[in-house]
Amino acid sequence: MKKIVECVPNFSEGKDADKVEKIADAFRGREGVKLLDYQRDANHNRSVITVIGEPGPLKEAVITAVGAAVALIDMRVHRGQHPRMGAVDVIPFIPLRNTTMEEAVELSRDVAQAIYEAHRLPVFLYEASTADPARKNLADIRKGQFEGMPEKLTLPEWKPDFGERTIHPTAGVVAVGARMPLVAFNINIGTDNIEIARAIAGRVRHIGGGLRYCKAIGIALKERGITQVSMNMTDYTRTPLYQAFELVKTEAKRYGVNVVGSEIIGLVPLGAIADTAAYYMGIEDFTTEKILEARIME
């Protein structure tokens, strides 16, 4: 591949493995596209697929995957703990190799238009792909979720970038955009009290006065009897993962509970893990250039 773009579409299905496999099939066996990873979570009722490819083949694969999701997922009966507004909730494009952010933006807009034309699924542009400050933040677009979206679309400021002021009856709406790499980082808390997890999330996230490049919500993991602070780290170079981990531990002590584990959803940049390892090991002046595998791959 000469030009490589990453795409991390999020689908509102995490319980039915067969449906997730059918959606993932859209990325298999395609020249110019490589499926790197996919994970489904029953509590979130959500799946995250990570794929890379050249712009043209990647565009076609994404449009096919959206078609599969529209056919398989009925948002009228969807229940899950992660906020969502459509069968395909969000489709971000991230420039990786020999590709600029401007090219990723152009690709995202082409894909957004094609999604509506092919599947009649209304699309909002977000992050670098929109010029509207009110649509930069995905959470602002998603506010109201699937159930509140029909009314939201009637507001003058919330006409979709592609499509009419009417949701797809079973698939809702989708956000498409270009952005820098994001780390989906979840920290598990040793309590079943969801209000504690929500309170911690409220103090950790930027909008609540917490870490600048952190978004967070509290989620219950009922089958495990614990809760979770589910975070999106939108710029790990400015807000490292270890800062989020340490702040969650500190806030958990306020309620007499402990952190019992953490997880990464999807793939994570090497720099994010190396930075965290260097912090906990106290390594001075450490960079990824000191990692053997990183030097081999140069």
Which residues are designated catalytic?
82
Rounded to whole angstroms, the Cα distance separating 103 from 93 reads: 10
DSSP 223-279: GGTEEEEEEEES-TTTS-HHHHHHHHHHHHHTTT--EEEEEEES---HHHHHHHHHH
In DSSP terms, which residues pair with 123 in a beta bridge? 162, 174
Rounded to whole angstroms, the Cα distance separating 280 from 287 reads: 14
Rounded to whole angstroms, the Cα distance separating 88 from 76 reads: 14
Rounded to whole angstroms, the Cα distance separating 135 from 121 reads: 18
Q: Residue 214: which of 179, 184, 177 has the closest Cα?
A: 184
Cβ atoms 126, 137 nearer than 8 A: yes
Rounded to whole angstroms, the Cα distance separating 224 from 19 reads: 24
| 33 phi/psi in degrees, rounded to 5 | -135, 140
Rounded to whole angstroms, the Cα distance separating 166 from 257 reads: 45
Rounded to whole angstroms, the Cα distance separating 174 from 168 reads: 10
Token pair of 185 as six digits: 């980082």
Cβ atoms 232, 249 nearer than 8 A: no
DSSP 91-141: EEEEEEES--HHHHHHHHHHHHHHHHHHH---EEEEETT-S-GGGSSHHHH
